[in-house]
Structure 1
């Protein structure tokens, strides 16, 4: 289908005039316009892979074309914007380990590419909600297409995906509209983005928001529901797949499909969109993909683990101790139950991506399976890794309980109630850690 720059401008006007509704013919034009970015995007991506590898071998790099619904919503938010000047229809994200690596990569990009527009440095000048990263736009020399490159550390990326998970679970639009869309959740994300140690008031404010919205319980249940099933889908994907269609939902397990051919993947995406424009679905490509990489890069779609579960734990522990020190037993109990939920969910992370195996939980047993035969040597290594991590968890848990008990001993007459509570809750968590058994599914051709 042929179209001109004027056609794309009129398409943008039509989106505004019809409040986002598109005729089938207009939708076809928009899809063809998106696809016109594929070749320049792939060329730019291949160059950036080399830059990324020079900066960090274990960095993650992925590309995507902007989702149709996201394009439409952006035009609606910016009705004066010309659609054919939208600068982030084609995007590449590089996830690195430190600010130094981000700026090293940026320097190489400036030397390798023709820049298009100013560099937006949200590390030096974060957005009000707390977003950090560097956005740079480059121009493809052959087609003149503008490509957006986002540079982030893993820490900043994890924060950003948690914002998107919040949007999905609570129907907010923080990513699109920022802090103002939901000031309460906006403040929550601003606080967890801070590198400064939180004050007692800030930590309590953070916890109060978590408790009010049942955030950790909702997050944990979603992750536990999805983890094993998404891993099974991943390991059923062809090892030659480089393009991945991820369909996410708050109600169902995400659907993950792999493709060897990009055109087939794009066609599947477009058909899904036409079937249901509200479906939360993304098509992406990752260099040398692994389950761990796709879980990190698209945590907001995979919905099976997020580092927030681990990162928030020290704050929750501190709040539990402070509640005891202040004699607030009821508050302590609530906070400790939150801690217990965090611990239960943290166990998931121990088993993600272990040796390229999928894992299924059956009561206290963890059943590992693989499409290939698992050697006795590999089984031994996996068991050792798991046991080491479980031992560390048990040790940290034991130290926390010891600190709690030392405070309880000085509490009269409330100590008896705390001891009964700990006996019921603390021992259950310790038993849960001890009783995990690892088994391997028998291989069959």
Structure 2
């Protein structure tokens, strides 16, 4: 299909006039325009991979073409921007361990590529909602295409994917619209992005959002439902795949499909989009991917784990102790129940941390670890030891927390029968989970 820059500009104008509605002919034109970025994107990705490896070999690098629905939404959101000048249709994201590596990458990119436009440094000054990272546009001199490169630390990336998970589960648009889309959730994400001690009021807002939106329980349920099934899909596609099509949903298990040929992968993406223009689908490539890498890079699509579930524990403990300090027993009990749900999720994650392992329950209630391949006796011992060490750490942390609770109750003279029964009941459940080490290994058929 032959087209000019003017054709693409006019296509964008039609999308605005028609309020996002697009006929089949125009959709085909938009898809051809997207695909025209494939070759320069792939070549830039290969060059950046070499640069990334020199700075952080463990870092994650992935590329994607902007989803059709996201392109349309951006055109509608910014009607004065010409579609043929949209700079982030082709995008590469690099996730590194720390800020020092982040700026080394930036220096290397500005040295080795032709920079196009202004470098947006949100790492030094984050967006109001809390987003951090560096956005830089480079130009492929052979075809004059612009490619956006996003640089993030693992910490800022984890935060950004949590925002997108919130958007998916609660039907918000915080990523696109920021604070204004939902003030409560916007402030919540802004607060958890900060590397500072929270004030009482700030910690209170975080808990109020957790409670109001049933946040921990909802995330835990989604993660536990998805983990085994997505991992099984990953093991099937991994050996032959270079490109990954991920389709996510708030009410069903994500679909993960691998392709060795990019053109076929892109064709499948386009066919799925035409069937359901609201579907959340991304086509990506990751250099030397593992299940851990794809789960981190696309946590908002895989929906099987997020580090937030580990990080929020300290805040919940502090709020629970504060409630006791103020002799607010009902509030303490609510917070402790949330803490208990968090522990259940953490324990599940410990058992599923190995890429080749799935978790099931036997008729006796034991946890059964299964694999798609036979696990040697030596490997079983290694896995069991890893699980036991992590459970011991979690158990030790829980017992310290319980000791702090009991000491505070004695100090404040608030130890009573109601509290004693509550703590005995809920702490017993946590302890039971922590002691669930009757693990069997089986080979899946």
Q: TM-score, normalised by structure 1?
A: 0.97
2:73 and 2:99 mapped to 1: Cα distance?
A: 31
Alignment-derived partner of residue 44 in structure 2: 44
Q: Deviations over 1:4-49 (max 9, x none)?
A: 1111111101100111111111101111111111110000000111
Matches within 5 A, 1:75-224: 75-224=75-224
Take 2:313 and 2:414, find their aligned partners in 1: how far apart are those partners? 29
**Shift of the alpha carbon at 1:361?**
2.4
1:358 aligns with 2:361: no
CA contact (8 A) 1:374 1:443 kept: no
Distance 1:371 1:228, change over 3 A: closer
State the 1:348 CA deviation: 3.0
What is the CA–CA distance in structure 1 between the aligned matches of 2:414 and 2:207, rounded to whole Å? 27
Instruction: Give the distance between the partners of 2:366 and 2:244, measured in 1 at CA.
Output: 30
Q: Secondary structure at the match of 1:246?
A: strand
Q: Which structure 2 residues correspond to residues 367-386 of structure 1 after superposition, within 5 A?
A: 367-386=368-387
Deviates more, 1:75-84 or 1:220-229: 220-229
For 1:7, the equivalent position in structure 2 comes to 7
1:301 aligns with 2:301: yes
Stretches of structure 2 lacking an aligned partner (at least 5 in a row): none
- The structure-2 alpha-carbon separation of the partners of 1:353 and 1:216, relative to structure 1 and needing over 3 Å to count, comes to closer
Q: Verify the 8 A CA contact 1:92 1:149 in the aligned structure 2.
A: yes
Q: Deviations over 1:126-149 (max 9, x none)?
A: 100010000010001211110000
Q: What is the deviation of 1:411?
A: 4.9
Q: Distance in 1 between matches of 2:310 and 2:421?
A: 27
CA shift, 1:220, in A, is: 1.1
Q: Distance in 2 between matches of 1:23 and 1:437?
A: 58
Indicate if the aligned counterparts of 1:235 and 1:358 stay in contact, CA closer than 8 A. no
1:271 aligns with 2:282: no
The 8 Å contact of residues 359 and 366 in structure 1, kept in 2 or not, is answered as no
State the Cα distance separating 1:443 from its structure 2 match. 6.4
Q: 1:97-131 CA distances to partner (integer Å, 9 max, x unpaired)? A: 11111000110001110000111000111100010
8 Å contact 2:358–2:371 — kept in the other structure?
A: no
Q: 1:33 to 1:214 in 2, by over 3 A?
A: same
CA RMSD of aligned residues (A): 1.3
Q: CA-to-partner distance for each residue in 1:269-292, whole Å, 9 max, x for gaps?
A: 101100000011111111111111
The whole-number CA distance in structure 1 between the counterparts of 2:366 and 2:3 is: 58
C-alpha displacement of 1:346: 1.1
Supply the distance in 2 between the matched residues of 1:441 and 1:227 (Cα, whole angstroms).
Answer: 18
Residues 199/252 of structure 1: CA separation in 2 closer, same or farther (3 Å cut):
same
How many Å separate the matches in 2 of 1:147 and 1:367? Answer: 47
Match of 1:255 in 2: 255
Unmatched tracts of structure 1, length 5 or more: none
> Take 2:323 and 2:83, find their aligned partners in 1: how far apart are those partners?
54
Output one character per residue of 1:70-109: Cα deviation in whole Å (capped at 9) or x when no partner: 0000000011111010000000000011111100011000
**What is the alpha-carbon distance in structure 2 between the residues aligned to residue 334 and residue 264 of structure 1?**
51
Q: d(CA) in 2 for partners of 1:409 and 1:278?
A: 56
SS of 1:166's equivalent? helix
1:209 to partner: Cα distance: 1.4
SS at 1:296 equivalent: helix
**Cα shift at 1:325:** 1.0
**Secondary structure of the corresponding residue to residue 239 of structure 2:** coil
SS in 2 for 1:81: coil
Contact 2:371 2:443 in 1 (8 A): no
In the alignment, is the contact (CA less than 8 A) between 1:291 and 1:353 conserved in 2? no
DSSP-derived class of the 2:149 partner:
strand
Corresponding residue SS for 2:131: coil
| Higher alpha-carbon deviation: 69-78 or 409-418 | 409-418
1-structure distance, mates of 2:61, 2:253: 25
Greater alpha carbon shift after TM alignment, 257-266 vs 430-439: 430-439
SS of 2:289's partner is: coil
Is 1:73 the equivalent of 2:76? no
TM-score by length of 2: 0.97
Instruction: Please say if 1:426 is aligned against 2:420.
Output: no
- Return the offset for 1:414: 5.0
Residues 366 and 241 of structure 1, relative CA distance in 2, 3 Å threshold: farther
Paired residue total: 443
Which residue in the other structure is 1:393 paired with? Answer: 394
